[in-house]
């Protein structure tokens, strides 16, 4: 099978190394390509971004030269899931080859009103860290280290600002297969998750896995198996 690029978009606070376990578990035909946002990782000296439109434009610049070279798919968790939707819009609007499929985990549909109802980016430091703890997304060793908290807090606050101030604008749905996976302990309404169906004319494959918001790190093999199976199926159709 021809190799497929799997473009992975970071969740809030994430960087290019966040999907390292996934990269190690991917079958040989999948080449994982992590996208790095500014203000962290190898781009630590660049200023943070506070708007989804600016963030997605930055993502686009990173991958625009590779998407027309061979088949690809896009995967995003949480903020990265919203980014996957917006990035696909931008790629299609600018005449690029469409992704084979999209993989979305841990987030509601782009049109969910609950996105703007959250104002976590405006919380005090104490309340903000409590929210992060509730998401089960930060290792205990970091939470006990004040220097690490000082490093991660502005990154997380910037990313939360971007997602919580995002204003959805209706557009024509994609003609793409989409898989949406969420944790069964996540603080999301099913009706908001089901709003993903509005982004494509295909029937979405909705799935649940056990766990809170960062269930993806408890089930890496299962998620990679789903991605591998879907890419195998859809790439065969794509290459006919």
Q: Read off the pLDDT of residues 82-105 as tens digits, 9 standing for 90 and up.
A: 999 999 999 999 999 999 999 999
CATH match of 4-238 with 3.30.465.10: no
Q: What is the mean pLDDT of residues 181-197?
A: 95
Q: What is the mean pLDDT of residues 47-63?
A: 98
Q: Report the C-alpha gap between 133 and 140 in whole angstroms.
A: 9
Q: Report the C-alpha gap between 2 and 101 in whole angstroms.
A: 16
| Local confidence band at 132 (pLDDT 50, 70, 90 cut-offs) | confident
- Among 120-124, 178-182, 195-199, the minimum mean pLDDT is found in 120-124
Residue 183 pairs in a beta bridge with 209
What is the distance, to the nearest Å, from the Cα of residue 55 to the centroid of all Cα atoms in its chain? 12
Q: If you count them, how many residues does the chain have?
A: 240
- For the chain, give the percent of residues with pLDDT over 90: 75
Within 13 A of 186's CA, how many CA atoms are on the CB side?
Answer: 23
Predicted confidence at residue 237, as pLDDT, reads: 52
Predicted confidence at residue 235, as pLDDT, reads: 79
């Amino acid at each position: 099978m021809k190799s497929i690029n799997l473009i992975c978009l970071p969740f809030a606070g994430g960087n290019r190394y966040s999907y390292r376990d996934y990269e190690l578990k991917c079958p040989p035909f999948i080449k994982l390509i992590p996208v790095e946002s500014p203000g962290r990782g190898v781009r630590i000296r660049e200023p943070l971004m506070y708007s989804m439109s600016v963030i997605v434009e930055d993502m686009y610049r990173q991958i625009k030269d590779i998407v027309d070279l061979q088949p690809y798919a896009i995967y995003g968790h949480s903020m990265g899931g919203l980014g996957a939707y917006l990035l696909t819009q931008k790629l299609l609007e600018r005449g690029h080859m469409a992704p084979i499929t999209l993989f979305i985990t841990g987030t509601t549909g782009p049109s969910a009103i609950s996105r703007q109802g959250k104002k976590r980016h405006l919380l005090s430091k104490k309340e903000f860290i409590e929210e992060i703890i509730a998401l089960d997304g930060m290792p205990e060793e970091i939470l006990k280290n004040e220097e690490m908290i000082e490093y991660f807090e502005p990154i997380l606050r910037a990313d939360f600002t971007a997602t919580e101030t995002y204003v959805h604008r209706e557009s024509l749905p994609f003609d793409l297969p989409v898989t949406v996976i969420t944790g069964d302990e996540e603080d999301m309404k099913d009706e908001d998750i089901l709003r993903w169906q509005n982004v494509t004319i295909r029937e979405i494959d909705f799935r649940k896995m056990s766990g809170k918001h960062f269930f993806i790190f408890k089930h890496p093999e299962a998620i990679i198996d789903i991605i591998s199976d879907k890419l195998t199926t859809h790439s065969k159709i794509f290459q006919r």
